[in-house]
Amino acid sequence: MTEEKKSVGWTGIVILLVLVSGLGFFVKEQFFSDSPFFPMVLDYKMSIDGEQQKANEITATSTGARTMTVSLFFVGPDLSEFEREDRSIPFEADPLLASSRALEELLRGPGEFGLYPLCGKDVTLRTLFVRKGTAYVDLSRSVADGSWRSAISEYVFLKAVCRTLSNMMPDINWIVFMVNGRQMSTMNREDGHLDIGNPFPADFRG
């Protein structure tokens, strides 16, 4: 009888330890996963030309400083196909701020060998805002003063911006290009090639 009681007692202790261990794991997952020191991954994906691409990825370093990976789009020497370059930037919780940072990185040019810059280094983003599903991309005056060599260079620039921005903000429907706070008819005030006076579809394919 004594041995039977001991057996039942040990069984109860084992069951209690298992329950406590499981509860501890549950609490850790529920509460510590929200800590800035806990690695995070945002697996939001969207379709680009029929392929699933990762829009952005959020990670945490050992020091707790979070970064996010954004996808930028550049072209190679033949100017015919876009290639994605993933770049790490400081984490932004606001999608609009994150999109602005992505466009700033796009205008800085590619970091990978074999990809071509889209514009001159003096071209910058003045501001980015969204109204009723339309994103307004306000570029510095230098984008209009610059010398656009051909319609192809303008086309590549506009498409790269649309592609990068729609990848960051999939809910937008249209993109309006502005120069120094104003809408213009072309990229170059003297000899532009493409009409930018009207909104571009966010999934602009040309």
Q: pLDDT by residue (tens digit) across 148-185?
A: 667 888 899 999 999 999 999 999 999 999 999 999 88
Q: Considering the domain boundaries, does residue 206 fall inside one?
A: no
* Distance of alpha carbon 130 from alpha carbon 150, whole angstroms: 30
Contact 106, 72 (CB under 8 A): yes
- pLDDT for the residue 79: 73
Residues 24 and 97 in one domain: no
Question: How many domains are contained in the chain?
Answer: 2
What's the domain range around 10?
A: 2-34
* Distance of alpha carbon 142 from alpha carbon 117, whole angstroms: 15
Tokens describing residue 137 = 């991309």
DSSP for 6-57? HHHHHHHHHHHHHHHHHHHHHHHHHHGGGSTTS------EEEETTEEEE-EE
Residues 21 and 104 in one domain: no
- pLDDT for the residue 193: 76
Mean of pLDDT over the chain: 75
Query: Can you say whether the dihedral through the CA atoms of 105, 82, 57, 139 is positive or negative?
Result: positive
pLDDT at residue 57 above 50? Answer: yes
Each residue's pLDDT tens digit, 66-122: 999 999 999 988 777 899 999 999 999 999 999 999 999 999 999 988 899 998 889
Mean pLDDT, residues 35-50 taken together:
29
Residues 180 and 96 in one domain: yes
- pLDDT for the residue 110: 95
